[in-house]
Structure 1
Amino acid sequence: MELTSDDALNFSRGVERFSVLEFRPHFPGYPAFIGLSRLAAIWIEAAVASIWVSMLSAMLIPLLVARLVYLLSSSWPAATLGCVLALMQPLLASMALSGLSDSAAIMVFLLALIAALQQKHSMVGFWIGLMLATRPSYLPLALGMAMLPCWGNYVGSKIRAYLQASIAIAAIGSLSLGFIWFHDGAAYFEEGIRFTQGHFTIWGNTVEGDNASLWQWVEALGKGFGWLGLIVVLVSLFSAVIGLASAPMSKSLNFRNQASRRQQLALTAVIAWLYWAWITFGQNPDNLRHWAPVLFLFLTVLPVQLAGLQKIFEASRLGVVAVSVLGICPVFYCLILGYQNVQSAPSQAPIQQAMSWIRANPKVTVVGTNYSVNLLRAQLGSHAIYDMYYPSSKLALVNAHKRTPQSAWRLSGTRLTDQQLVTEFSPRFIGERRLFLYQISQ
């Protein structure tokens, strides 16, 4: 297992010694993910413990999707379809090998949603607290779940439900804050202000091109999942919300249960829309892993909708066959999409490919990069690595080229028009960034 980014390196270092001020890891600290990684480090090497946590968490996601689908549909075929579709996602493999907190946070979010459907209020708060301590940017998911007691045939006191969940969230939040305060003290909050300002003004939303953020996300998702796939996601989530308006109103217990499940399905879609809106304006379209919660919520909604169609047309043999075909189509689509991604996929992450290429070419001694600066410095100790965020780095590369031709090179996550492209390093899965290597010629 190999580290694939600076963020993964930060988590790896945080397992050994935690300090947000030293970017071990970066703000906001992700204390629950660090805790899980330290637990894993009891049995495995600390340097790769975070990768094991993300991989094991990713392995549980398809099973949790299946459980959610079954709770919403009471259909084993639908639950199986949800599990298979989740398991076939290339983005799941990308998150599993990233060493980042995405898959662990999605895992506990799905557990929270399962507990909410079962009306286990304290467990809902426990899982939401862990989710926020694992990946605080998932706050919109928690806010969406806060609507659940107000929807459907929720049994018992709503005030008690909120109180029990809030106590559990506050307990985990206090433990997390205490852990961070013990290591960094009040300086943690100053770092938080600096990091947040930088995320929204400098590096967090830096993307290729000058289009609006919304269209950048549309283009990125279209390239990653195909335009047909994106259209299906939009139609499915939209119809789940619209379907709430036509929920049957009756005193019949059967109809009330159907209405409650449609409301729960609609809320699942609303949570997906809420989070999608957040990442559109607050996250980088270059990293498709930010879209993963929307993807797995969609993979929960779609099988439930197909199960509903199956019940509607169960009296018609032709209708049952048509719905079965509709269920098979997404499987084939994922197979085709996955095959296109893995048929020529390299065995290493792009940054590891780049480092292997650099090691194999002794003439390369100076490298400027805007991607994985610290990882390159950590694993290429004999090379001079310059961060291209600083204007002086460009001058340093030009001077190095003048002193020793062919010694200075530029690694970039975007295409550059003013340099000579030598090679590029392909991603293994959706969610990894293609890297380009240039030789400095001026």
Structure 2
Amino acid sequence: MNFRYRVTILFCICLLTRLCFVAQYLDSCDSIDFALGLRDYDISRLQPHFPGYPVYLFTSWLFFKLFHHDVWALVIPGVLCSSLTIYPLSSLARHLFSERVALLTAVLYLINPLCWLQAERPTSDAMGLFFIIASAYFLYRITFSDCDNNQSSGKKIYLLLGSLCLGFGLGVRLSYFPFIILWIAVVVYLTTRSIHLKKHSTFYGCTGFITGISLWLFPQIAYIGWYHLWKNGLFFSHGHFTDWGGSIVTFGGLRRIACLVRSIWEYGLGGWWSGSSFSRLIPSFVMVISLLYSFKQHFSDRQRWFLGMYMIPYLIWIHFGQNVANPRHILPVIPILLLFISHGLCKAYEEVSRDISIRRNIFLFIRSFPGFPPKPYRGRKERDGSLTAAYCPVLFILTLIVSMSIFSLKLVIRYHHHIPAPIRLVQFVERQFDNLSTRIYCSEEKRFFEYYTPLWDVRMVRNAAQLNFDLQSSIDKPQNILVVHVSGEDKQFGTERSSLIMFQGNPYTDGLYKNLFLSVWNNL
């Protein structure tokens, strides 16, 4: 069975497993914004917020017309694109290292907890990842493939497709813009070093990139207007970096670095962390050993250069500009880490097998001489020891695959059947309180109340001062005043001793500190 057939089988398995556990609820404020955007696209009303996600929303809108179900419409693009990612990812791994590494990388991607879970969610991350990995594959092929003059036209197509995928992918997730640095580096490399494309690399690269952006940007400008798009972009960017976006301005220090490491290690790779199950220790040990063994190997200059240009700019962007407490932001990093893990495991297997084969050939060569003494009985133990050493990397691979499959399967089953914390909050308030005599103060959770219970009096505040100001400005004082906040915000609202109930969040979908607390306001 050749490589393409094997990858196609993995694609089918990936697609079927993703379809079995798709989300049943809108689990985040972003997904609420997307659902509202399906019916009335307006970024000024955060339906969705800037940059508008035009490619993802248009694709979801097509499925919405087909299914007439907002959650399914938002999930299916991620399911399809997440499964398709296996093709460019395995092809990239194959050209970087080997076919064996490529197949193992595809398997680990299929069962990775974050990659699997993000494919089930009504968000744009899985779809955006497909275009980034596809772009990386085409750009690597154009940069380091060995082509002669007769194949230069094929290299032009690779450059055009890689640039087109990147430009189009920014219409799915504009926050993946740091990968433009990889594209620029490739174009500059081709302009200065390539023999066959030196005159045309800039033209083909810019043509593909501009075409990809134009396919979504011009229709968006025509629909919204360039002034309103620019105005909303400035307003949203200012709030993201200075207030609520989780950038280094509002959340910094060593705690931020620890949070980023935890997002990558525990939630991205499924490794062990304080408070997690001890069953993760064994796969964590395998991953650590594999990564160390991979980094120990000699990488060519082109491998180091390309992987560095892929990883470093995006990691810098995450550290300074993104909410590191939300694991989905590190999604583009995970496939490359899985590639390193696969490379380390396969290298260990190849070296052990090669050493055993060399020792066996030397032994047989010496025994071929006349008068060579018969093989002693203890040779059987030596042979058994050699077989054990040969099977050790295989056992590591099987252990990692089985343990990670079980963990990821439990995770997606729980996600599929579990009601998200914000929706449980809305349902609880509906059961316990009367909407005519109740006012609710909250932050981002207001979007859930507006979507599921539009008749309730819900107001957005950030702290107790804003809450008091709103109450003093109100003519009518409600009988019940409820405050919703996340972990660590009780002091901001003065609700340390008045919490009514806690709704535990899912750190994979809600962030690391997103338990919701409902409190009764008594500071009138």
Instruction: Note the 1:411-426 alignment, pairs <5 A.
Output: 411-415=484-488, 416-417=490-491, 418-419=494-495, 420-426=498-504
Pick the aligned partner of 2:515 from 430, 435, 441: 435
Question: Which amino acid counterpart does residue 466 of structure 2 have in structure 1?
Answer: S
Pairing 1:217–2:217 present = no
Question: Tell me, what secondary structure is at the counterpart of 1:134?
Answer: coil
Pairing 1:176–2:191 present = no
Q: Deviations over 1:319-338 (max 9, x none)?
A: 54333234334335535654
1:265–1:301 CA contact under 8 A, matched in 2: no
- Taking the aligned partners of 1:126 and 1:295, their CA distance within structure 2 comes to 23
Alignment partner, residue 462 of structure 2: 389
The two structures, once aligned, show a CA RMSD in angstroms of 3.5
Alignment partner, residue 229 of structure 2: 188
For the structure 1 residues 264 and 69, does the alpha-carbon distance in structure 2 shift closer, same or farther, using more than 3 Å as the test? same
Instruction: Note the 1:225-240 alignment, pairs <5 A.
Output: 225=270, 226-227=272-273
Pairing 1:334–2:408 present = no
Question: Which amino acid counterpart does residue 419 of structure 2 have in structure 1?
Answer: Q
- Taking the aligned partners of 1:99 and 1:424, their CA distance within structure 2 comes to 24
2:165–2:212 CA contact under 8 A, matched in 1: no
Moved >4 Å (runs of 4+) = 206-212, 219-223, 227-243, 339-346, 394-400, 402-405
2:482–2:518 CA contact under 8 A, matched in 1: yes
Q: CA deviation at 1:25?
A: 1.9
- Taking the aligned partners of 1:307 and 1:209, their CA distance within structure 2 comes to 38
Question: Tell me, what secondary structure is at the counterpart of 1:284?
Answer: coil
1:397–1:440 CA contact under 8 A, matched in 2: no
Pairing 1:57–2:57 present = no
Q: Which runs of 5+ in 2 are unaligned?
A: 1-23, 143-157, 274-280, 357-385
TM-score by length of 1: 0.82
Aligned-pair identity in percent equals 18
- Taking the aligned partners of 2:288 and 2:353, their CA distance within structure 1 comes to 26
- Taking the aligned partners of 1:286 and 1:159, their CA distance within structure 2 comes to 45
Pairing 1:360–2:431 present = yes
Pairing 1:83–2:156 present = no
For the structure 1 residues 321 and 205, does the alpha-carbon distance in structure 2 shift closer, same or farther, using more than 3 Å as the test? same
Q: Say which one has the larger Rg.
A: 2
- Taking the aligned partners of 2:487 and 2:44, their CA distance within structure 1 comes to 29
Alignment partner, residue 452 of structure 2: 379
Q: CA deviation at 1:167?
A: 0.3
Question: Tell me, what secondary structure is at the counterpart of 1:104?
Answer: helix
Question: Which amino acid counterpart does residue 184 of structure 1 have in structure 2?
Answer: I
- Taking the aligned partners of 2:251 and 2:482, their CA distance within structure 1 comes to 21
Q: Which moved more, 1:24-33 or 1:302-311?
A: 302-311
Alignment partner, residue 92 of structure 1: 115
Instruction: Note the 1:3-402 alignment, pairs <5 A.
Output: 3-45=26-68, 47-48=70-71, 49-76=73-100, 78-119=101-142, 120-148=158-186, 150=189, 156-185=196-225, 186-205=227-246, 213-221=256-264, 224=267, 225=270, 226-227=272-273, 246-247=298-299, 259=300, 263-264=302-303, 267-317=306-356, 318=386, 320-332=390-402, 334-335=404-405, 337-338=407-408, 341=411, 347-363=418-434, 365-389=438-462, 391-394=465-468, 396=470
- Taking the aligned partners of 1:342 and 1:50, their CA distance within structure 2 comes to 17
- Taking the aligned partners of 1:422 and 1:221, their CA distance within structure 2 comes to 33
Question: Which amino acid counterpart does residue 347 of structure 1 have in structure 2?
Answer: H
1:94–1:432 CA contact under 8 A, matched in 2: no
Q: CA deviation at 1:388?
A: 2.0
For the structure 1 residues 403 and 181, does the alpha-carbon distance in structure 2 shift closer, same or farther, using more than 3 Å as the test? closer
1:236–1:298 CA contact under 8 A, matched in 2: no
Q: Which moved more, 1:129-138 or 1:233-242?
A: 233-242
For the structure 1 residues 366 and 372, does the alpha-carbon distance in structure 2 shift closer, same or farther, using more than 3 Å as the test? same
Q: CA deviation at 1:66?
A: 3.2
Q: Which moved more, 1:204-213 or 1:360-369?
A: 204-213
Q: CA deviation at 1:282?
A: 0.5
Q: Which moved more, 1:263-272 or 1:79-88?
A: 263-272
Question: Which amino acid counterpart does residue 437 of structure 1 have in structure 2?
Answer: F
Question: Tell me, what secondary structure is at the counterpart of 2:335?
Answer: helix
Question: Which amino acid counterpart does residue 99 of structure 1 have in structure 2?
Answer: P
- Taking the aligned partners of 1:144 and 1:29, their CA distance within structure 2 comes to 24
TM-score by length of 2: 0.70
Question: Tell me, what secondary structure is at the counterpart of 2:500?
Answer: strand
1:240–1:265 CA contact under 8 A, matched in 2: no
Q: Deviations over 1:216-243 (max 9, x none)?
A: 3235545534347889889877886785
For the structure 1 residues 422 and 67, does the alpha-carbon distance in structure 2 shift closer, same or farther, using more than 3 Å as the test? farther
1:90–1:429 CA contact under 8 A, matched in 2: no
Q: Deviations over 1:259-280 (max 9, x none)?
A: 4xx7336522541232112101
For the structure 1 residues 380 and 232, does the alpha-carbon distance in structure 2 shift closer, same or farther, using more than 3 Å as the test? farther
Question: Tell me, what secondary structure is at the counterpart of 1:430?
Answer: helix
1:112–1:128 CA contact under 8 A, matched in 2: yes
1:27–1:192 CA contact under 8 A, matched in 2: yes
- Taking the aligned partners of 1:62 and 1:342, their CA distance within structure 2 comes to 19
Question: Which amino acid counterpart does residue 486 of structure 2 have in structure 1?
Answer: G
- Taking the aligned partners of 1:274 and 1:235, their CA distance within structure 2 comes to 26
Q: CA deviation at 1:108?
A: 1.0
1:351–1:435 CA contact under 8 A, matched in 2: no
For the structure 1 residues 310 and 273, does the alpha-carbon distance in structure 2 shift closer, same or farther, using more than 3 Å as the test? farther
For the structure 1 residues 235 and 325, does the alpha-carbon distance in structure 2 shift closer, same or farther, using more than 3 Å as the test? closer
- Taking the aligned partners of 1:287 and 1:2, their CA distance within structure 2 comes to 19
Q: Which moved more, 1:301-310 or 1:31-40?
A: 301-310
- Taking the aligned partners of 1:104 and 1:75, their CA distance within structure 2 comes to 25
1:141–1:274 CA contact under 8 A, matched in 2: yes
1:70–1:79 CA contact under 8 A, matched in 2: yes
Q: CA deviation at 1:404?
A: 5.9
1:109–1:127 CA contact under 8 A, matched in 2: yes
Question: Which amino acid counterpart does residue 515 of structure 2 have in structure 1?
Answer: L
Question: Tell me, what secondary structure is at the counterpart of 2:200?
Answer: helix
